[in-house]
Structure 1
Amino acid sequence: MRPGQSQRNRFVSQTLKKRPVKKKNKKLIGLVVLLLFIFLYLSFSSALKISNLVTPLGKNINQAELEQATWDYLSQRRFWLLPQNNLLFLSKSGLFNYLNERFPIAELKIKKRPLHRLVLDLVEKDYSLVWLENGLYYYINDQGEIIKTATERPQNVVVISNLADPKQGEKRIDMDLKYLESLHTVQQTMTVNQPDLIIGHYVYDNEPNTIKLKIEEGPLLYFSTKEDIVKQVSKLKVLRDQVFPDQVNFLNQLYIDLRYGDRVFYQ
């Protein structure tokens, strides 16, 4: 072997070993470039862009406001990169949380559809009572959650006039749910057992364990939340039958207190 030949062979051998590494780097760079191209294509391509929004016509949720809120969310980007108006990159959980914070939604299904369509299939929360405070009518459910707000007195809905401290919060009426439960019982029992009496409204004040019901053009009725509501309504029926058979005399009473055992107080 000639002098220096061994060193040249080692150099050639090392050079040959390094070449595959360069090829791997080129492949990796090519793959990154390809993925970047695909990402940019999918991000800016109109093929996946949401342009058609299908929303339900609701009872308590304004359809135009729901659509506007949805478009507002779709105009955002997730992680500063992923456009939310793209069917592929849209975060359904993110849109759900965004809308749920702004509307009384019980259930919401977000469906991605061909032809650039996004379908919102939802079930609204409904109200059962109306809370009157500072001139505003708050439509609430059994949990005290505010469903919507109005300035005009509603029709065919139970109204509770608040004469105590303000209870209206950001999303709910902050009050004892036991009171609402008892009020529903009074309402249902009166409707069944005293159907001829027209309920005007309920009065809420600081008197504990008490439900006050104002009969339209008639007396204020006092019920105890600690006593059996059905028995209290039964006492009212006996009072009307035996003491005030004349409807006019009954309606002329100022109040009728049914809270104390077998006794009834009236004036």
Structure 2
Amino acid sequence: MYNRRRKPKKMDYSKKKYSNPFFRGQKTIRKFPTNNYYLTWKQKLIILIFILLIPATIWLFFYFKFFDIKHINITGSEKISKDEVINMAWQQANKKRYLLGSQKNIFLFDEVGFSNTLQAAYPLGVHTMEKKLPGTLKIDLKEKHYSAIWNEGEKYYFLSDDKSVTEVEPLQIKDKALPIIQNIGEPKIYNSVVIEQDEKIACALAIFQKLKTSQHNFEIEKFIIEKDEYNSLKVALKGPTLIFNLKDDIDKQINKLYAIINDKLKADYIKKNYIDLRFGDKIYYQ
């Protein structure tokens, strides 16, 4: 008889899960360390002081009368009235800003808003405002030298001495002591400069200066440049329209106007439609 050799038993290495029935149903509870942090009395005092400093600082800088504007100094004005600018500044200072308080406080005075107000009222270039503590507002004006207002199409422009233009809203030209020159011919503005109109602009400015100082108190509404009227310039008064010859002496034509008003038309000149001064010693009117 032969003894069969037993086969070796295979080892089972698969993962198994064993549980103890005695601990079945119990949950594992993890405990985390806790840190109990307490503020010391010094830390509490510092926090309290910090909280109290916030409203105290707001009151100090925005409500304390020490920082109210007391003096407004204007420099750089030539034609612009200093008193007018000072009055405008005080008017703004009496207004509220946000919910903090009056703009009389030097920190609350709105420099940008006042700058926009000045730009709307006067022909200004770059100008500066400086707040000098505790209560002085210094305004340095840089006036632009505009000679006229140029009107082309629906748009209006400030016309400077070098013939460059700056577009302006129609409301901003109200009560301006500048002549209005209306171009109803071909557009003459290129790259923000009026071109090919130097002679007409010069004549318009000369006529404006002479007529506005006349004893007849002419109310000049505007100068008109028409298409194809190369040698003529019209002046619309409150009443008649005057027509000038640009190739003739302007002073001579104005003297003719004064003569016919004084000698013949008298006060009735205002009822005429036009007075044409272009033809030598002759004057035509209707």
User: Normalising by the residue count of structure 2, what TM-score does the alignment of the two structures yield?
Assistant: 0.47
Shift of 1:21: 8.6
Shift of 1:203: 4.8
Aligned 8 A contact 2:68 2:134 in 1: no
Q: Secondary structure at the match of 2:39?
A: helix
Aligned 8 A contact 1:84 1:90 in 2: yes
| Residue aligning to 1:182 | 196
| Residue aligning to 1:107 | 126
Of residues 24, 46, 49 in structure 2, which corresponds to 1:30?
49
| Residue aligning to 1:10 | none
Q: Secondary structure at the match of 1:120?
A: strand
Going from structure 1 to structure 2, the CA distance change for 1:44 and 1:130 (only over 3 Å counts) comes to: closer
Q: Secondary structure at the match of 1:47?
A: helix
CA RMSD after TM alignment: 4.8
User: Normalising by the residue count of structure 1, what TM-score does the alignment of the two structures yield?
Assistant: 0.50
Aligned 8 A contact 1:131 1:140 in 2: yes
Aligned 8 A contact 1:55 1:63 in 2: yes
| Residue aligning to 1:149 | 175
Going from structure 1 to structure 2, the CA distance change for 1:187 and 1:205 (only over 3 Å counts) comes to: closer
Aligned 8 A contact 1:111 1:120 in 2: yes
In the alignment, structure 1 segments of 5+ residues that lack a partner are 1-12, 133-137, 165-174, 191-198, 222-232, 237-248, 256-267
Shift of 1:36: 0.7
Higher mean alpha-carbon deviation, 88-97 vs 69-78, is at 88-97
| Residue aligning to 1:19 | 38
Aligned 8 A contact 1:48 1:86 in 2: yes
Q: Quote the sequence identity (%).
A: 17
Going from structure 1 to structure 2, the CA distance change for 1:27 and 1:115 (only over 3 Å counts) comes to: closer
| Residue aligning to 2:271 | none
Of residues 60, 66, 71 in structure 2, which corresponds to 1:41?
60
Aligned 8 A contact 1:57 1:63 in 2: no
Shift of 1:118: 0.9
Aligned length: 188
**What CA deviation, in whole Å up to 9, does each residue of 1:220-241 have, x standing for no partner?**
24xxxxxxxxxxx8xx9xxxxx
Aligned 8 A contact 1:161 1:203 in 2: yes
Of residues 235, 239, 245 in structure 2, which corresponds to 1:220?
245
Going from structure 1 to structure 2, the CA distance change for 1:93 and 1:149 (only over 3 Å counts) comes to: closer
Residue 79 of structure 1 pairs with residue 79 of structure 2: no
Q: Secondary structure at the match of 1:106?
A: coil
**What CA deviation, in whole Å up to 9, does each residue of 1:17-70 have, x standing for no partner?**
353299766643431211211211222223221111112473443333211211
Which is richer in helix? 1
